[in-house]
Each structure stands twice: as C-alpha cells, then as structure tokens.
Amino acid sequence: MDSLGGTAAAIVLLVLVIFVIIVLVRSIRIIPQARAGVVERLGKYQRTLNPGLTILIPFVDRLLPLLDLREQVVSFPPQPVITEDNLVVSIDTVVYFQVTDPRAATYEIANYIQAVEQLTTTTLRNVVGGLNLEEALTSRDQINGQLRGVLDEATGRWGIRVSRVELKAIDPPHSIQDSMEKQMRAERDRRAAILTAEGTKQSQILTAEGQRQAAILAAEGDAKAAILRADGEAQAIQKVFDAIHKGNPDQKLLAYQYLQTLPKIAEGSSNKLWIIPSEVGEALKGIGGALGGTNGGSGVADLFSDSAKPTAEVPAPAGTAAVSSGHAQSTPATQEPSA
C-alpha cells in the first residue's frame, strides 16, 4: 500500500510540474521588434502587445498571429485595362503599404492584402479608362498619384497606409507596338535630318564668316600696302626733287633728260597717238648748243624752229598718229599720214 501511495504521489507531482510548465509557457510571450500582437480575453479584444516581454493569463487570454509593422511590397499580376480609345493594355502594378493600426487591420478587414489588390485593380481601370494610349504611356506619374490617393483614402480605415503605387509595365497590343516602333523610327529619322541640316547651316555660316573676315583682313592689308607704297613713292619723289634742287642742273641737262623721257610715252601696244609739246624745239636747241656743232645743231634746231606754230606737222610711220608740235592738236591712228 505504501508503494502504491508513493507512486500516485509521484504521478500527481509530475502532473503538477507539467501543468506549471504549460502555464508558464502560455503566460509568457516575447514580441519581436517591428511586430505587434492582438490579445483577446475570452474572445473579446483586450489589448495590443508591443515589442518586448509580456505576460498573459493562461486559458483566458489568447494571442492572435503577429502582424508585421514594416513596409511591405506586393506585386500584383498584370491586369487587362481598356483605354479611352478602346485598346486593351496589360498593366503590371506594385503597391508599397504599411500596417499602422494592428487592431483595425485585424478586425476591419478579413484579408487586407487581397483587399488592396482588388482595390488597386478597380481604381486602375477607372483612371486609365479615361485616358488614351498615348496619355497612359506618358502620364505614369499622374496615374501613380491618383492611385495612391484613392488607395490611401480607402485603406485608412483598415489600419493600412499606402505609401507608393508604381506601374511596372504598360504593354499595348503587338500591332500597336509595331506601329509605335515605326512612328518612333520616323521621328528619329526626322530629328536626324533636322540635326544634319542644322549642322550644315552652322558650317556654312562659319565658313562665310571666315571668308568675310579673311576678305576684310586682305582688304586692310592691301590698303596698308597701298598706303606704304604711296608713302614710299612720295618720299622717293621728294628725295629726287630735293636732289635736283640741291644739284642746281642747267638747261642743257634738263633738256637731255626731257628727250630721254619722251620715248617712254610711246611704250605699250595701246598707244596710237603721240603728243609732242611745243617745248621740244627749245629742248633740241639746247642740245644743239651743248653739242657745239654749227651745222648739225642748226639743222636739228631748224627742224623744230617752227614748233610753236600750230600748223606744223611731222610725218608719222604707218599705223601711228600724225605728230604735231601743238599743245592740243593730234590726229587719230586710223587717218592716213599727211603729205
């Protein structure tokens, strides 16, 4: 009997130890960081557990599955959406949301992730349905803003805050894609042609500007060169004039130089008319006196003794004008020489 009583007591003690361990396990809870737990007491909401150590009443309090308070990213499968111009496009969306009220996320909505997906699809169809394909492709920021506003307002009472909504892809039909590629190719060709024309225009402008500057510089160089040549000729004439006056030449030297200069007047194939001033006679008289010859000098002087007369003429070679001793008388080259 004593052995049986000792065995029963040991069994009861063991059961009590196991019961105590179970009570301790069920009453002590550790909530991790960025998690939250909802406690129900006898089936009714009692409190929300924050991260850390907490104690529950065993068999009275019940801890529901923990909720993640971090920002979550959910990618929804592509959804077919009809645009305003009756084109079916496939839109893939991504939603960024965060649980801000664990109690509302537990009791206000059964499955908040599925609810967010369905609400995103409905709102997306409403927003994109009022836009044509081109506007839908170029207005992603506007669509994202409208989706975020509608979702954030609707999910606020669920204890959820929608921070961002992004459109990952908008895929139009393949036929529309081919047309868009052709349009883009034509647009790029047009831009390339415009850029080429602009480059050619700028090149021509720069070339013309360079030629203009070169012409201006050349003209300035020619002008300066002409000025320098004129200054040189003026200085040379001035030096010759000064040398002549300093040398004080006599009438004989001047007459000799005068006769040496006369042949230069007839140089050139275009000279058909010779004009001999009346002073030639005086010059020849001076030369004759310088030579000292009475016969030859008088003969040369007699040849032009009447040079002051306007009617005196000298026979000219064939094809040339008649030579006159007058100041302004001349005969054209086409006339026959006078007898």
Q: pLDDT per residue over 104-150, tens digit each?
A: 999 998 888 888 888 888 888 888 888 888 888 888 888 888 888 88
| Averaged pLDDT score across all residues of the chain | 77
Predicted confidence band of residue 325 (pLDDT cuts 50, 70, 90)? very low
Q: Which residues pair with 30 in a beta bridge?
A: 53
Topology (CATH level 3) of domain 72-172? Tetrahydropterin Synthase; Chain A (3.30.479)
| Mean local confidence (pLDDT), 49-64 | 87
Three-state SS string over 120-173 comes to: HHHHHHHHHCCCCHHHHHHCHHHHHHHHHHHHHHHHHHHCEEEEEEEEEEEECC
For residue 153, the number of C-alpha atoms closer than 13 Å in the C-beta half-sphere is 7
How many other β-carbons are positioned within 10 Å of the β-carbon of residue 26? 16
Phi first, then psi: give them for residue 115, nearest 5 degrees.
-65, -40
pLDDT over 70 percentage in the chain: 73
- Would you mind telling me the total number of residues written for the chain in this entry? 339
Residue 215 token pair:
């012409």
pTM: 0.49
Cβ-based neighbours of 319, under 8 Å, separated by 6 or more: 272, 333
Output the pLDDT for position 304: 42
Output the pLDDT for position 309: 41
Residue 147 token pair:
């989706």
Element (H, E) at 54: strand 52-55
Q: For 62-76, 95-109, 236-250, 325-339, which range has the lowest pLDDT when averaged over its residues? A: 325-339
Token pair 């929300």 is found at 48
- Cite the residue boundaries of each domain of the chain with CATH code 3.30.479.30: 72-172
Between the CA of residue 120 and those of 100, 138, 159, 252, what are the distances in Å? 19, 20, 17, 124
Closest alpha carbon to 94 in 173, 147, 130: 147
Sign of the alpha-carbon dihedral angle for 218, 220, 221, 225: positive
pLDDT tens-digit map of 265-296 = 666 666 566 566 655 566 556 555 555 544 44
Output the pLDDT for position 211: 92
Q: Is the Cβ–Cβ distance between 83 and 77 less than 8 Å?
A: no
Pairing of the two strands 72-75 and 88-99: antiparallel
pLDDT tens-digit map of 74-105 = 988 888 888 888 888 888 889 999 999 999 99
Query: What b/e readout covers 40-67, taking b as 16+ CB neighbours within 10 angstroms?
Result: eeeeeebebbeeeebebeeeebeebebb
Three-class SS state of 287: helix
Phi first, then psi: give them for residue 232, nearest 5 degrees.
-65, -45
pLDDT tens-digit map of 148-187 = 888 888 888 899 999 888 888 888 877 777 777 788 888 8
Q: Is the Cβ–Cβ distance between 34 and 69 less than 8 Å?
A: yes
Residue 312 pLDDT > 90? no
